[in-house]
């Protein structure tokens, strides 16, 4: 049962959902399956409407908590817990929705694409094989597959919310009931999992998941309404009156408005307070300099501009009639921050992106949760790290790429998706390593030292902080003895027996050259510089 009265339009949507689900079982035409798009759009609209109603209840909780924290705290804490449970449930359902879309439509490969692609534009919305495999797996009943896991989460969510309301497990107060008798079009018994997801097309699955999301929000709304009603009128009687300023946010972006509720802990009166405010001061000394704001039902909505960045302060007074009819005045003041939309994308090792290696970056936007960010890159890949997928990423640029890479970030902020900006990074090839033998690359070296080392070691430059290794695949050993040139080839980094024999028999002062050194790295082979040595 929903926690609010359904409109005729919402009732019609519910009926259409049931009819279309039944027709789907009869193997209707593809054209008719597209009708699910209409139902899905209506479900999304209804879900948004319920979200607004839920936000209104949370606003009421916040206002009442500001008036009397001691008595409201336990109810407010439960309301926050319910919100967390609902958000986790909705996040899980959304992950299934985007997952089944990706597994069905080969054109959609990322969660972001699935999120941004309308159902009407999904080419594979009439397919049912991949969605059935996604939800049912290898289980005939779906019990030990994704559909079964979803059922378990719904049951746990429902039972937890019933506990908040003090209702028994068999109560039908919140809906979301997965138990009962289910049958297919021929009357054969089915499990809940089969009834919802067995051979249903993608369009139906998306609509079903959105319907479950709507039911989750309805249940959240019902429990919040119950908790709010548990707070009696006696809880909000005071022997003292105080001015309260409840800002929606003290951190806003340039071009937006600062919003706050200016309220007064009320005596039992129906009169609205008179509110006067003045920007840029700590105290209103002359009421004639201040601006008056009209109130409604004891609450005054205060809106101040965010035209320029910086910290903005304001003060004001509230005038209210006491129960004796006297006018009483109370002062208030507050401040808020206006900030330019700012994006922080910092390379954690260098100020460039190197090709062929993982470039770690951290992405954040001041004032916005990392969970709200939607980063992207114009070339290569941008992948969340397993350790901290919310703000740390790895950038991978293909070998041979030149120019610049642009990291762009959007954010879900205040009910809409906003562009937070972009930052360009230079694309550079990984620098060549330097070749050493016995820690020497040029100069005098003892016979014992070079023979003990036995081979060439490539080293990255000291200022290159990436953990990257090159492998020597070949080099040429060249020297001169009695006017004759001796040259030997190695197909790895090690000195060959001929090279060692020559060194052992060489006189002091003999010059050696290790040249044509080939090193293999992440983007292919590199030719390194020559090692010039003089035997000691």
pLDDT digits (tens, 9 = 90+) for 77-88: 999 999 999 999
Name the pLDDT band for 170 (thresholds 50, 70, 90).
confident
Q: What is the dihedral of CA 490, 491, 495, 498, to 10 degrees?
A: -40
407-455: pLDDT as tens digits: 999 988 767 888 888 888 999 888 899 999 999 989 999 999 999 999 9
More reliable by pLDDT, 246 or 458: 458
Residue 13 has pLDDT above 60, yes or no: no
CB 351 within 8 A of CB 425: yes
Can you tell me whether residue 149 is helix, strand or coil?
helix
Residue 459 has pLDDT above 80, yes or no: yes
pLDDT at 269: 42
Average pLDDT along the chain: 83
- Distances 8 to 5, 12, 15, 54 between C-alpha atoms, Å: 10, 6, 11, 20
Name the pLDDT band for 4 (thresholds 50, 70, 90).
very low
Percent of the chain scoring above 70 in pLDDT: 83
More reliable by pLDDT, 342 or 95: 95
Name the pLDDT band for 249 (thresholds 50, 70, 90).
low
Q: Quick one: which of 342, 337, 336 has its CA closest to 373?
A: 342
Between CA 421 and CA 344 the distance in angstroms is 9
CB 241 within 8 A of CB 332: no
pLDDT at 390: 77
Class of domain 344-428: mainly beta
More reliable by pLDDT, 340 or 171: 171
CB 126 within 8 A of CB 114: no
Place of tokens 């009962």: 180
489-534: pLDDT as tens digits: 999 999 999 999 999 999 999 999 999 999 998 878 899 999 999 9
pLDDT at 2: 42
Name the pLDDT band for 14 (thresholds 50, 70, 90).
low
Q: Are strands 251-253 and 327-339 parallel, antiparallel or unpaired?
A: parallel
Note the pTM of the prediction, 2 decimals: 0.43
- The residues of the chain that CATH labels 2.60.40.680 are 238-339
pLDDT at 254: 66
Mind giving me the DSSP string for 259-303? EEEEEE---S--PPPEEEEEET-S----GGGSEEE--BTTEEEEE
Task: State the first-to-last Cα distance of the chain, in angstroms, to the nearest integer.
Answer: 93
Mean pLDDT of 162-176: 86
Mean pLDDT of 257-282: 72
Mean pLDDT comparison of 82-96, 235-249, 274-288, 463-477, highest-scoring range = 82-96
Place of tokens 């706050």: 260
- Classified by CATH at the fold level, domain 238-339 comes out as Immunoglobulin-like (2.60.40)
pLDDT at 320: 76
- Distances 520 to 185, 469, 471, 490, 524 between C-alpha atoms, Å: 64, 9, 5, 15, 6
Name the pLDDT band for 474 (thresholds 50, 70, 90).
very high
pLDDT at 239: 43
Place of tokens 């090692």: 531
CB crowding 493-528: b at 16 or more within 10 Å, else e: bebeeebbebbeebeeebebbbbebbbebebeebeb
Ramachandran area for residue 421 (φ above 0: left; ψ -120 to 50: alpha; else beta): left
- The residues of the chain that CATH labels 2.60.40.10 are 344-428
């Amino acid at each position: 049962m929903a926690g609010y009265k359904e409109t005729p339009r919402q009732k019609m949507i519910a009926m259409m959902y049931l009819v279309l689900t039944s027709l789907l079982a009869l193997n209707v035409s593809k054209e008719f399956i597209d009708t699910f798009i209409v139902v899905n759009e209506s479900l999304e609209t209804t879900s948004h409407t319920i979200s607004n109603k839920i936000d209104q209840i949370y606003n009421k909780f916040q206002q009442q908590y500001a008036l009397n924290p001691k008595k409201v705290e336990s109810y407010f804490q439960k309301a926050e817990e319910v919100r967390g449970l609902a958000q986790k449930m909705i996040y899980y359902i959304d992950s299934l929705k985007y997952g089944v879309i990706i597994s069905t439509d080969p054109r959609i490969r990322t969660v972001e694409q699935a999120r941004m692609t309308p159902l009407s534009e999904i080419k594979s919305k009439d397919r049912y094989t991949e969605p059935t495999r996604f939800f049912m797996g290898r289980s005939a009943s779906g019990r030990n597959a994704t559909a079964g896991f979803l059922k378990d989460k719904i049951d746990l969510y429902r039972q937890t919310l019933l506990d908040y309301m003090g209702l028994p497990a068999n109560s039908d107060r919140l809906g979301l009931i997965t138990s009962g008798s289910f049958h297919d079009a021929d009357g054969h018994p089915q499990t809940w999992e089969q009834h919802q997801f067995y051979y249903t097309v993608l369009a139906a699955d998306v609509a079903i998941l959105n319907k479950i999301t709507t039911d989750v929000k309805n249940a959240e709304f019902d429990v919040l309404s119950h908790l709010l009603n548990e707070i009696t009128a006696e809880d909000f009687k005071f022997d003292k009156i105080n001015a309260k300023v409840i800002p929606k946010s003290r951190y806003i972006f340039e071009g937006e408005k600062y919003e706050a509720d200016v309220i007064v802990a009320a005596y039992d009166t129906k009169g609205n307070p008179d509110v006067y405010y003045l920007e840029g001061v700590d105290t209103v000394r002359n009421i004639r300099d201040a601006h008056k704001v009209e109130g409604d039902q004891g609450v005054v909505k205060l809106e101040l501009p965010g035209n320029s960045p910086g910290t903005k302060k304001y003060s004001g007074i509230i005038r209210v009639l006491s129960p004796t009819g006297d006018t009483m005045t109370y002062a208030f003041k507050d401040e808020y921050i206006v900030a330019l939309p700012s994006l922080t994308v910092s390379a954690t090792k260098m100020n460039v992106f190197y090709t062929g290696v993982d470039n770690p970056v951290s992405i954040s936007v001041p004032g916005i949760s990392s969970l709200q960010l939607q980063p992207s890159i114009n070339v290569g890949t941008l992948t969340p790290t397993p350790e901290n997928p919310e703000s740390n990423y790895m950038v991978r640029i293909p070998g041979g790429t030149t120019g610049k890479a642009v990291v762009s970030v959007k954010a879900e902020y205040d009910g809409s998706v906003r562009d937070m900006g972009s930052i360009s990074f230079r694309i550079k090839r990984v620098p060549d390593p330097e070749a050493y033998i016995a820690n020497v690359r040029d100069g005098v070296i003892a016979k014992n030292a070079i023979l003990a080392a036995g081979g060439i070691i490539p080293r990255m430059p000291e200022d290159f902080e990436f953990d990257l290794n090159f492998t020597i695949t070949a080099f040429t050993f060249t020297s001169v003895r009695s006017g004759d040139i001796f040259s030997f080839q190695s197909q790895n980094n090690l000195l060959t027996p001929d090279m060692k024999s020559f060194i052992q028999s060489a006189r002091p002062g003999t010059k050696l050259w290790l040249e044509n050194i080939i090193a293999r790295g992440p983007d292919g082979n590199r030719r390194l510089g020559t090692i010039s040595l003089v035997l000691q």
